Amino acid sequence: MRIVKLTEESRKNLLEELLKRSPNQYGEYEAKVNEIIQAVRERKDEALLEYTGQFDEWQPSVDTLRVTQEEIEEAYTHLEPAFIEVMKKSAENIRHFHEKQMQNSWFDARPDGTILGMKILPIEKAGVYVPGGKAAYPSSVLMNVLPAKVAGVKRIIMTTPAGAGGKVNPGTLVAADLAGVQEIYKVGGAQAIAAMAFGTQTIPKVDKITGPGNIFVALAKKACFGYVSIDSIAGPSEILVIADETANPRYIAADLLSQAEHDELASAILVTDSEELAEQVAGQVEQLVQELSRKEIMQKSLDNYGYILLVKDMEEAVETANAIASEHLEILTRDPFQIMTKIQYAGAIFLGEYSSEPLGDYFAGPNHVLPTNGTARFFSPLNVDDFRKKTSIIAYSKEALEEVHQDIELFAEKEGLTAHAKSIAVRFE
């Protein structure tokens, strides 16, 4: 990994390089994505079947698009019982964490007859996209479905591409069953997003779409936003580690590579004030890359977006972390909690040497669907509120309105909206 002494110029260059990884930079794919979306809007199932046959390794029919109960039961036979038990434990941790986020409707009644409040209800239908093809992520099934279930969503639609012969990854199916999904369709790519956004004869239109995917999925979610709600337009994975001289260089190297192995655009950054640690981590990274299975992907990721940034002190390290606003932030310092209090922007923060990033990916309970590409400055992790709709409640008595009607009329008149003012005034003529 390259070691860079941080300056204003190098920080600016780094931020510009990282932003190039955003899906917003891949405009050359938008025309194809829009073509797919329009075809699905117009021709519905017919277009779904065509694109699935074109892009995937099987020829579907309307009757084979939906996963059957027999396929789910068969999936269990392909997994080790120990793995199924681990998924059950993970699901329980995720469910328990998200139950803490629940808010109920509330009302504030005052003596003058005013009632103000918030009515909070789950959305009716949620759509979850789960990647397939080269890799499958049962953990993403749990992370996307369980917050919706906790929120009280009545109907969850899941789409995922099938492989050869129309077979869906067994881990994906078992995770979906454990999470309580009852409708799973063998559709992937932009066409799956379009189907959930606009509806077809087979796949219903949903209210919100969540879940990760490739560039076509990300751009389709972007194009459909407004017709349907989405979680975010996710970019490549990223990790930033803040460490001082007390940190274990081998732990840091392993944690950096845990994200570099995702894909060639993943970003892995160490920020430290210890030149000795920087050199040790660089050596450990070089050694570990050779030991791991996805070394070509990791090496490209590190060559393009891997950095060890040398800063003068921890204050500058915190400034840098806040500027980057990383998806995952690990703090491996003498007092990680003290550093954590100064962090304003990060998707998830991992404190101490036994809280490595994969703990959050798989098991701890907080959601691993996190903002990327600096969007942690204004986006939050996927949570229960993403699947609940809030409606304001306003009720005034005649006496309460009488006290303030002239104030409201004045406000409306100053904005030139005389009908607004009249709507209040007629009640006191």
pLDDT score of 136? 81
Summarised one tens digit per residue, pLDDT across range 59-112 is: 999 999 999 999 999 999 999 999 999 999 999 999 999 999 999 999 999 999
Instruction: Tell me which of 405 and 28 has the higher pLDDT.
Output: 405
**Single pTM value for the model:** 0.91
User: What number is the average pLDDT over the span 52-64?
Assistant: 91
Q: What is the mean pLDDT of the segment spanning 26-42?
A: 90
The band of 317, judged by pLDDT with boundaries at 50, 70 and 90, is very high
Q: What is the pLDDT confidence band of residue 13, given thresholds at 50, 70 and 90?
A: confident
Q: Encoding tokens for residue 124?
A: 């009716």
Nearest to 281 by CA among 253, 261, 262: 253
On the question of pLDDT at 27 being above 80, the answer is no
Q: 């999936």: which residue's tokens?
A: 75
> What is the average pLDDT value for the chain, to the nearest integer?
94
Check: CB of residue 140 under 8 Å from CB of residue 406.
no
The answer to whether 313 and 273 are in contact (CB under 8 A) is yes
Longest distance between any two alpha carbons in the chain, whole Å: 84
User: Dihedral of CA 353/355/359/361: which sign?
Assistant: negative
What pLDDT, in 10s, does the model give residues 371-415? 998 999 999 999 999 999 999 999 999 999 999 999 999 999 999
pLDDT over threshold 70, residue 25: no
3-state secondary structure string across 54-104: HHCCCCCCHHHCECCHHHHHHHHHCCCHHHHHHHHHHHHHHHHHHHCCCCC
Query: For residue 280, what is the enclosing H or E element?
Result: helix 275-291
DSSP string, 360-427: HHHTSSS------TTGGGT-----GGGGEEEEEEEE--HHHHHHHHHHHHHHHHHTT-HHHHHHHHGG
Which residue, among 373, 241, 375, has the nearest Cα to 308 in the 3D structure?
241
Question: Residue 429 pLDDT more than 70?
Answer: yes
Region 139-145 average pLDDT: 97
Q: What's the CA gap between 359 and 372, in Å, rounded?
A: 18
Q: Which sequence positions are flagged as catalytic?
A: 327-328
Tokens at 80, concatenated: 């080790």
Extract the tokens encoding 405.
């009607």
237-270 per-position pLDDT tens digit:
899 999 999 999 999 999 999 999 988 888 999 9
CB 40 within 8 A of CB 194: yes
Half-sphere exposure of 199 (CA within 13 A, CB side): 9
**Residues 345, 377 contacting (CB under 8 angstroms):** yes
Band of residue 337 on the pLDDT scale cut at 50, 70, 90: very high
Question: Which residues are CB-contacts of 266 (< 8 A; sequence separation ≥ 6)?
Answer: 236, 237, 238, 259, 260, 301, 305
Residue 77: the pLDDT is 97
State pLDDT tens for residues 290-311: 999 888 999 999 998 899 999 9
- Cα 146 to Cα 363: distance, rounded to the nearest angstrom: 13
Specify the pLDDT at position 132: 85
d(CA 222, CA 209): 11
Task: Work out the percent of the chain whose per-residue pLDDT is above 70.
Answer: 98
DSSP state of 248: -
Q: What pLDDT digit, counting tens, does each position of 343-365 carry?
A: 999 999 999 999 999 999 999 99
Given a cut of 70, whether residue 35 has pLDDT beyond it is yes
Q: Is the pLDDT of residue 214 over 90?
A: no
Give 17's pLDDT tier (boundaries 50, 70, 90). confident
Order of strands across the sheet that contains 115-122 = 106-109, 115-122, 388-395
CA pair distance 371, 320, nearest whole angstrom? 17
CB 255 within 8 A of CB 241: yes
User: Could you read off the pLDDT of 108-124 as tens digits, one per residue?
Assistant: 999 999 999 999 999 99
Residue 10 has pLDDT above 90, yes or no: no
Q: Where does residue 417 fall: left (phi above 0), alpha (psi -120 to 50 degrees), or beta otherwise?
A: beta
Alpha helix stretches (DSSP H) within 124-268: 138-151, 170-179, 189-198, 215-224, 249-260
